[in-house]
Amino acid sequence: MGEQVTFTAPLWEWGARDSWFFVTLDEEASEVVADRPPPGRGFGSVRVRATVGRTTWTTSVFPSDSESGRFVLPVKKAVRVAESIDEDDPVTVLLEVLD
């Protein structure tokens, strides 16, 4: 099992694409992800298992930008519907790094 971290952050919609929603990992969670050796996949993505409420899924987190050092977690529609999450709602995430 990989390293795990829990954080809470608001859900936000990416302005460049309608219906793409993310939460930004806090500093501690981003450090846990960044401390892993780079996997060599596109965009600096790192595979993770995320749990919100009773919903768990496997996805990747992506660097948000080079300045902040933070990562973003995509939250698919099925998760938002199952957990009744709307834009700007605080989302508590248990994140397990798989890479």
- Residue 31 to residue 25: CA distance in whole angstroms: 9
Terminal-to-terminal C-alpha distance of the chain: 10
DSSP 4-69: EEEEEEEEEE-TTSTT-EEEE--HHHHHHHHTSPP---GGG-EEEEEEETTEEEEEEEEE--TTT-
pTM tops 0.85, yes or no: yes
- Owner of token pair 């529609």: 77
Question: How many separate domains does the chain show?
Answer: 1
Q: Can you give the residue range of the structural domain that contains 22?
A: 4-97
The single-letter code of the amino acid at 27 is: E
Work out the pLDDT band at 65, boundaries 50, 70, 90. confident
Give, for 85, the enclosing helix (H) or strand (E): none
pLDDT in tens, 6-52: 999 999 998 766 788 999 999 999 999 988 766 666 678 899 999 99
Question: What is the CATH classification number for the domain harbouring 87?
Answer: 2.40.30.100
Read off the amino acid at residue 72. V
Element at 89 (helix H, strand E): none
